[in-house]
Structure 1
Amino acid sequence: MGRETEPDKRRLRRELLAVRSGLTADDVREAAVALAGHARELPELARARTVAAYVSVGSEPGTLALLDALRARGRRVLLPVLLPDNDLDWAVYAGPDSLVPVRHGGRMTLLEPSGERLGPEAVERADAVLLPGLAVDTRGMRLGRGGGSYDRVLARLERAGADPALVVLLYDTEVVERVPEEAHDRPVHAVVTPSGVHRFR
């Protein structure tokens, strides 16, 4: 299954990234405001004490407004630090000034938290995890960017018996009928888009 599925995933990723690359800065900014508004009201985030999240880059659905809103409400927000093997360490978000640009080899520059590293296992203590993605289908199956970092996060949560709410932020057109699925893929609980919330289980 994996051999047939991977080319399908690559093709769908290319198509979705092409659409995102056509978004203007205003499109991204307006979507980020709408996303933050809907996500703030999501019960899984409203009642969470600790939220593992990420800093959006480029034309990804924006997360900074949401990170600041969660922090203002007293939530502990963990942000990832990419390790050389593509696994993720975590550190507490202490506001926009605590983010530093880090270039990873020839790949993109990411904004990462400058605080104390808590270890890859810190995500196991999160009540909710915001996952980046390119699409989610009507079953809640998520298509990631293909780096494998969040597959490791999901596997780590499963091994630890942790069951946080899994939430993906997307644009409206990225909730699709079907994404290619592999054995290790896990469904998410909810997707937040600029027009509202979609739930799966």
Structure 2
Amino acid sequence: MRHNRRADEPDKRVLRREILAVRNRLTAGDVRESAAALAARALALPELAHARTVAAYVSVGSEPGTLALLDALRARGVRVLLPALLPDNDLDWGAYEGEGSLAPVRHGGRMALLEPSGRRLGPEAVTEADTVLLPGLAVDARGMRLGRGGGSYDRVLSRLERAGAHPALVVLLYDGEVVERVPEEPHDRPVHAVVTPSGVRRFG
């Protein structure tokens, strides 16, 4: 298993670098337009239309924008949980109470993340979600997701599995980030759907 990880990592690093280079060329206007289209597509998903609790995240920089979607979900009466990064890269969770409830938090030398400023609910809170929106850089034809490499969401997915929780797993991406194949490791799990500004693709 360890050998596979080492063999895959260079490929993952190259793919991450390529995708991030494309994202970094996007203008603020591009990101804004894509965010509106993403929100409209995602809100039509049955997985979100029927969800009572959604675990999501706040996009930063040139990531596919999520704030419009978070606000729309909250306006529907959905309980939205947002992550707060812990020192060991695991995720705690807090409720989203609107844009004013977010605080920028810098973790080491990284870009500041917007995290919920209210009460922390504990890492297990994610197991209550009907749908989990996962950040990513790419997803392939089998539904395998390429993350940023920090491992935070690998822990989330393991926690869901241990708890016997089976929420819908949905990734939000730009159109060019649905690729033929991403390198996978033994612990990787496919997602159920990917939403891009131009449409939705389901897996399995």
TM-score range relative to shorter protein: over 0.9
Identify the residue that residue 21 of structure 1 maps to in structure 2: 24
Q: Quick one: which amino acid aligns to residue 134 of structure 1?
A: L
Superposed counterparts of 1:168-187, under 5 Å: 168-187=171-190
Listed one character per residue, the Cα deviations across residues 44-92 of structure 1 (whole Å, up to 9, x for unaligned) are: 0110000000000000000000000000000000000000000000000
Q: Which residue of 2 aligns with 1:6?
A: 9
Query: What 5-or-longer segments of structure 1 have no aligned partner?
Result: none
Shift of 1:106: 1.0
Partner of 1:53: 56
| CA displacement at 1:127 relative to structure 2 | 0.2
- Note the residue ranges of structure 2 that are not aligned, 5 or more in a row: none
The answer to whether residue 151 in structure 2 is matched with residue 145 in structure 1 is no
Matched length: 201
The residue aligned with 1:155 is 158
**C-alpha displacement of 1:157:** 0.4
Aligned residue in 2 for 1:102 = 105
Once the two structures are superposed, residues 90-133 of structure 1 have per-residue CA deviations (whole angstroms, 9 ceiling, x without a partner) of 00000000000001111110000011100000000100000000
Instruction: Indicate the residue corresponding to 1:165 in structure 2.
Output: 168
Q: Detail structure 1 runs of 4+ shifted over 6 Å in the superposition.
A: none
What is the RMSD of the two structures over their aligned residues, measured on CA atoms? 0.4
User: 1:183 is paired with a residue of what secondary structure?
Assistant: coil
Deviation track 1:153-182 (CA, whole Å, cap 9, x = no partner) reads 001001111000000000000000000000
Query: Map of 1:125-136 to 2, 5 A cutoff?
Result: 125-136=128-139
Secondary structure of the 1:197 match is strand
Q: Aligned pair 1:119/2:130, yes or no?
A: no
Identity of aligned residues (%): 82
TM-score relative to the length of structure 1:
0.99
Letter in 2 for 1:17: L
**Secondary structure class of the residue paired with 1:156:** helix
Partners of 2:18 and 2:148 in 1: CA distance: 12
